[in-house]
Amino acid sequence: MNVRNEELDLHESAIASHHWTLSIGSERRPGRGNALPTLNPSTSRLLAEVASASADDVDDAVSAAVLAAQQWGERSPLDRARLVRDLADVLESHAEELAWLDTLDAGLPLWMMRVDVATGLQRMRMFSDFALGLTGQTIPASAGGVHLTFPRPFGVVARIIPFNHPFMFAASKLAAPLMAGNAVILKPSEQTPLSALRLGELAQGVLPDGVLSVLHGGPPVGERMVRNEAVRRIAFTGSHIVGREIQRIGAESGVKHISLELGGKNAMIVFDDADMEAAVAGAVKGMNFAFVGQSCGSTSRILLHRSVAERFTELFVKAVDDLRVGAPWESDVQVGPMVDAAARQRVEGFIERASAAGAVRLTADRQLPDDGGFVAPTVFRGVDPRSELGQEEVFGPVVSLFTFTEESEAIALANDVRYGLTASVWTNDLSRSFRMARALEAGYIWINDTSTHFPGVPFGGTKLSGAGREESIDELLSYTETTAVNVVMAR
Ligand code: NAD
C-alpha cells in the first residue's frame, strides 16, 4: 500500500466515524429528515449517510436566524468584518481536512481542492475588506432639504449552492450576506454536503448563535427555505431549471429578492492574429478539466478562424489526449471522475447522440474504470450549432470546435445560444477586442485569457445564465435594501 492509499483510508474512516450534524442556531443536531447517502465517485463506495433536515429543522433555522439578525445587523461593519475574518482563520486551520473532504465527496483532484479552499477563504476575507463599502448617498433633491439613503439588510438570506465547488462556494457565498448584516441559512448540494456541514460545525462559537445555519438535504429542503415567509432574499447557484423553479416558488410565498447564478454554453473565439500556443493552453484551462468540465464558466464551444483551425485543432486535441485521468488523490492526476455515475451517463448520452448525428470525435478512446463517474475528455468537430450538443450545457468534459471567416459570423455563432455567462476572445487587435466585448452576450468576458476570476470584478450571467452579479461590491450591496430619508427643514 502506498502512502497516499494509507492517507485515503485514514480520511475515509474519519468521515465514516464522524458524527455529522446540521448547524441550527446554537445547536449541532442530527437532521430529522431522511438519511441521504454520499458516495466517493472514484470508487462508488459509501462515505457516509447523513440525515437531511426536516421541514421543522428548516423552520427552526429560520426562526433562529430572524432572532440573530436583529443584533447582527446592528453591529458595526468593522465588527462583523472581524468575526468573518476570525471564521476564515478557523477554517484555514482545517484547510487540509476540508480539501480532502471535497476530493472524496466530489471526486475533484486534491491539488485543485487545496486551491479551492484557499480561494473560498480569500473571497471571505475580500468581503470583510469591503466592510466600509456599505454606504448610502446624499442627494440635493430640494432647496434646503437633506435627502439621504442608507443600506438596510434583509434580515434572513437563504443561500442554495451546487456540487461543483463544495467548500469554495460554501465559504465565499456566505460572506457577502453576512457582511451586509444578514443572518444566513446555507444549503449545500445533497451530492457533496460534507465540507459545508463541517464549516457549519466549525463556525459554531465563532459567529453569534443563529447568524449562520447549515442544513443538509435535497429539493424539499431548498423549497422549504424559499417558501418561508421570513426569508426575503434568496441567492441561488445551480441550473436554470431549478433557478426558474425557485423564482416560481418564491413568487407563491411573497415578494422575494432572488439572484441567480446559472449555467453556461460559453464561447471561446480565436482570431488569426492570436498567439496560437497561448490560445491552446487557454482552451485547456478554460474547459476546467480539473473539474471534468463541471464548471459554469467552461468554454465548451471553441470558434476558430478558418485559417488557424487546423493548427489549433491539432495542438488542442493532443493536449486533451495527454491529460492524465485517474483517482483524484494521486498527485499527478489532472482529471478525476464526475460527481456520480448518473452524471457520467448523462454526458455519455450527449456524446452518443452527437456521434449518431454525424459529429466527428477527434480525441482518442480511453480505458477507464466502469465504476463511478469516469468519462474521457472529448473533443468534437462537425457539430451542428443548432443541435443538442451545440446548444445545451453538458456540464462535462466535452468540447465542440466550430469555424468562421468573418468577425460578424463569430459574433452570430457565439450569441446563438440561450445562455450568456462567459466568453473569451483571443486576438492582438485592440479595437477588435472591444468591438467583440460589446457585441458578445455574456456577463464576464476575457480577452486573451479564460477561467480566471479576478477578485472584486463582478461575475454573473445574462439570458438563461442568471440575474445578479457576485464576487464584488455589487454582490455585497445586493444583500441590502435602500431606505431613503427626506428631511424638510423648518422655515
Ligand atoms: P442543481 O440546480 O441541480 O442544484 C443546485 C442546488 O439546488 C442543490 O443544492 C439542490 O439541492 C438545490 N435544489 C434542487 N431543486 C430545488 C428546488 N426545487 N428548490 C430549492 N432548491 C433546489 O445544480 P447542480 O447540478 O448542483 O449544479 C450544476 C449547475 O450549476 C450547472 O447548470 C452549472 O452551470 C450551475 N453553476 C452555475 C454557477 C455560476 O456561478 N453561474 C456556478 C456553479 C454552477
Examine the pLDDT at 481 and tell me if it is beyond 90. Answer: yes
Q: What average pLDDT score do residues 299-321 get?
A: 98
Distance CA 120, CA 32 (A): 29
- Ligand 1 test: best mutation among 172, 187, 244, 296, most atoms within 8 Å of CB? 296
In a domain, 162, yes or no: yes
> Do 228 and 367 belong together in one domain?
no
Do 43 and 161 belong together in one domain? Answer: yes
- Residue 481 annotated to the active site: no
Instruction: For the chain, give the percent of residues with pLDDT over 90.
Output: 96
Based on the domain organization, do 256 and 293 belong to the same domain? no
Confidence of residue 5 (pLDDT cuts 50, 70, 90): confident
The verdict on residue 326 lying in a domain is: yes
Residue 2 pLDDT > 60: no
pLDDT at position 3 is 54
258 and 283 in a single domain? The answer is no
Q: To the nearest whole number, what is the mean pLDDT of the chain?
A: 96
Confidence tier at 213 by pLDDT (50, 70, 90): very high
Q: What pLDDT digit, counting tens, does each position of 29-52 carry?
A: 999 999 999 999 998 899 999 999
**Structural domain includes residue 407:** yes
Can 409 be counted among the known catalytic residues? Answer: no
Structural domain includes residue 464: no
User: Rounded to an integer, what distance in angstroms lies between the CA atom of residue 292 and that of residue 70?
Assistant: 43
Instruction: Report how far Cα 407 is from the mean position of its chain's Cα atoms.
Output: 31
CA of 219 to the centre of ligand 1 (A): 10
Between 211 and 1, the higher pLDDT residue: 211
For 421-435, how does the pLDDT look when each residue is reduced to its tens digit (9 = 90+)?
999 999 999 999 999
Q: Is 252 found in the same domain as 293?
A: no
pLDDT confidence tier of residue 490, bands split at 50, 70 and 90: confident
d(CA 76, CA 131): 9
Tell how far the Cα of 162 is from the centroid of ligand 1, in angstroms. Answer: 4
**350 and 306 within one domain:** yes
Ligand 1 neighbourhood includes 330 CB (under 6 angstroms): no
Same domain, 342 and 220: no
Q: Which domain holds residue 350?
A: 267-454
pTM over 0.75: yes
One of 12, 223, 296, 330 is an active-site residue; which one?
296
> Do residue 332 and residue 395 come from a single domain?
yes
pLDDT of residue 1: 39
Which residue's C-alpha comes closest to atom 15 of ligand 1? 219
Q: What are the tens digits of pLDDT across the range 164-203?
A: 999 999 999 999 999 999 999 999 999 999 999 999 999 9
Is 187 contained in some domain? yes
CATH number, domain containing residue 317: 3.40.309.10
Domain assignment of residue 488, yes or no: no
Q: What is the largest CA-CA distance in the chain?
A: 87
Residue 302: CB partners within 8 Å, gap ≥ 6? 267, 268, 270, 283, 312, 316, 399, 400, 401, 402
242: CA distance to ligand 1 center in Å? Answer: 6
pLDDT of residue 372: 80
d(CA 63, CA 84): 22
Residues 29 and 132 in one domain: yes
275 and 240 together in one domain: no
240 and 277 share one domain: no
> Using one digit for the tens of pLDDT, what is the confidence trace for 216-230?
999 999 999 999 999
Does position 302 have pLDDT exceeding 90, yes or no?
yes
Residue 87 within any structural domain of the chain: yes
- pLDDT in the model for residue 131: 95
User: CB-hemisphere CA count at 13 Å for 56?
Assistant: 6
Q: For the chain, how many structural domains are there in total?
A: 2
Instruction: Identify the CATH number of the domain in which residue 58 sits.
Output: 3.40.605.10
pLDDT exceeds 60 at position 337: yes
335 within 8 A of 298, measured Cβ to Cβ: no
pLDDT over 60 at 101, yes or no: yes
Query: How many Å apart are CA 192 and CA 257, to the nearest integer?
Result: 26
Residues 434 and 478 occupy one common structural domain: no
Q: Which atom of ligand 1 is nearest to the CA of 470?
A: 40
Q: Which amino acid is at 193?
A: P
475 touches ligand 1 (CB under 6 Å): no
pLDDT tens profile 377-424: 999 999 999 999 999 999 999 999 999 999 999 999 999 999 999 999
Return the number of other C-beta atoms located less than 10 Å from residue 175's C-beta. 26
Cell digits of residue 73: 445587523
In a domain, 74, yes or no: yes
Please report the atom of ligand 1 found closest to the CA of residue 241. 2
